[in-house]
């Protein structure tokens, strides 16, 4: 029998062959690591075969590293997390990305970088060299650094002089991931430093309250992220940009695959609970003009959404076909629609609070109301058969996780690490979580909802932005 190492190598070789074959057929080149990111460089990933091959390559590469690395080296890929985060944040907030973009592919000596941003050249070189060792930035000559595909994601694409002179508005009017990275390396990073202290404290270790999240220990005057965002305009703007960046990274047709919207009758009402600026309602309103939509959120979010809708779909607002409604999701629900839509909402709340939201919706629901949850679905790292349906009921379509070919971890390992990062972030910030399908099923059933179907796509291995369709029971 071949060793696991050989099996993994064979999987990787087969997947590299498949990826190269698809890219040649489609005319979509494999990305150049040394070139800055462009949207076109991701075109290859739209092909399902290429996307699957990529996941297997990443999973197999990390699995091989785990086998052949010294255990301490493998362990320190996690232990060294704070140093990696600190290096990225330093180069991000010191505006290195903007300076190097202006320098071009020939790069810039660290002394010249320091002359522009006023930082210590020797220290900057150490941070940059550490990141370049992990394929973030490139050291193209001693102490001369340049962008690559990964580091270019940190660029706001603003003039370096502007972001250096006005750091407080660096992320204003940007669309990339720089604001998102800054948000997490600031607030989430500080909250994470208090995770063990929160779990070790008998007063908070078993708590199911958002005010007992690690965030509250890191920011005791605010207690919750929402309170901090209310008082800190810079953090609020950066958070809003984080949400925009997250939405931009999602497949444009993701919401259309969450439910068979075309089956709804004319004038059917869809209520998006916690809809923010309406990033899901926009495409629905544009593609299905016969539907009526209500986008609910707190007053501040609704005020932010109104000018966006007025600019993008003014007729929908003027006709009343779309209503932006201030509403607290913990208050009684005023509508009994055809569909309640919750996109990335329940992951912000611990089970007890998520149950309260679901209870309000169940109390308002008609017998034929459908609840559509668009969220992450966390797979197990082991190979597990789907849980049997209760009382001999038929299995729920789509409930079983997609599984990677052996000997890869069933969840594709590091290729799908993002969902577990999200899970940890939800814990640090909100004392909340991403959930497995069985966890969603139990939560929904506790408040009178039954899972009717799980709609998965192979994008993200059926993890990110998948949907659960539930009905009153």
Q: Are strands 466-472 and 269-273 parallel, antiparallel or unpaired?
A: unpaired
What span, in angstroms and rounded, lies between the C-alpha atoms of 457 and 470? 18
* Summary mean pLDDT of the chain: 94
* pLDDT value, residue 26: 95
SS3 state of residue 389: coil
Sheet containing 269-273: give its strands across.
322-326, 292-297, 269-273, 339-343, 370-375, 466-472, 449-455
* pLDDT value, residue 244: 79
Name the one residue in this structure whose structure tokens are 């990110």.
Answer: 464
- pTM value is 0.93
Whether 347 sits among the annotated catalytic residues: the reply is yes
Model confidence band, residue 63 (pLDDT cutoffs 50, 70, 90): very high
Check 63, 147, 347, 427 and give the catalytic one: 347
pLDDT above 80: residue 272: yes
* pLDDT value, residue 458: 72
Model confidence band, residue 350 (pLDDT cutoffs 50, 70, 90): very high
């Amino acid at each position: 029998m071949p060793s696991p190492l050989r099996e993994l190598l064979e999987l990787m070789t087969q997947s590299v062959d498949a990826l190269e074959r698809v890219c040649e057929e489609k005319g979509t080149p494999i990305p150049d690591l040394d070139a800055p990111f462009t949207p076109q460089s991701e075109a290859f990933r739209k092909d399902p075969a290429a996307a699957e091959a990529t996941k297997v390559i990443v999973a197999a590469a990390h699995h091989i590293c785990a086998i052949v690395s010294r255990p301490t080296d493998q362990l320190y890929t996690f232990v060294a997390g704070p140093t990696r985060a600190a290096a990225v944040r330093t180069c991000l907030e010191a505006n290195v990305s903007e300076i190097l973009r202006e320098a071009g592919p020939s790069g810039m000596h660290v002394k010249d970088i320091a002359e522009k941003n006023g930082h210590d050249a020797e220290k900057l070189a150490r941070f940059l060299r550490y990141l370049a060792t992990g394929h973030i930035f490139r050291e193209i000559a001693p102490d001369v650094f340049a962008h690559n595909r990964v580091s270019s994601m940190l660029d706001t694409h603003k003039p370096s002089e502007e972001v250096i002179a006005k750091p407080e508005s660096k992320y204003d009017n940007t669309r990339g991931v720089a604001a998102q990275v800054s948000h997490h390396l600031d607030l989430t990073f500080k909250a994470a430093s208090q995770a063990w202290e929160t779990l070790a404290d008998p007063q908070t270790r078993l708590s199911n309250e958002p005010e007992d999240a690690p965030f509250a220990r890191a920011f005791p005057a605010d207690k919750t992220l929402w309170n901090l965002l209310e008082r800190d305009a810079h953090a609020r703007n950066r958070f809003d940009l984080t949400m925009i960046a997250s939405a931009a990274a999602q497949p444009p047709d993701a919401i259309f695959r969450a439910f068979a919207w075309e089956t709804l009758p004319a004038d059917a009402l869809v209520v998006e609970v916690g809809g923010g600026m309406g990033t899901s309602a926009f495409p629905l309103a544009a593609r299905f003009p016969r539907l009526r939509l209500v986008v609910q959120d707190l007053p501040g979010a609704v005020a932010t959404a109104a000018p966006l809708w007025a600019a993008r779909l003014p007729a929908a607002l003027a006709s009343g076909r779309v209503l932006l409604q201030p509403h607290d999701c913990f208050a009684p629900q005023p509508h009994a629609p055809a569909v309640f839509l919750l996109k990335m909402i329940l992951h912000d709340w611990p089970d007890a609070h998520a149950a309260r939201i679901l209870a309000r919706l169940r109390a308002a629901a008609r017998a034929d109301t459908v609840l559509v949850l668009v969220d992450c679905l966390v797979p197990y790292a082991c190979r597990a058969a789907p849980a049997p349906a209760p009382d001999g009921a038929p299995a729920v379509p789509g409930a079983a996780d997609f599984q990677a070919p052996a000997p890869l971890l069933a969840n594709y390992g590091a290729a799908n690490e993002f969902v577990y990062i999200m899970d940890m972030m939800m814990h640090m910030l909100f004392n909340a979580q991403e959930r497995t399908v069985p966890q969603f099923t139990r939560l929904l059933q506790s408040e009178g909802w039954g899972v009717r179907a799980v709609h998965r796509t192979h994008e993200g291995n059926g993890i990110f932005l998948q949907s659960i369709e539930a009905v009153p029971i």
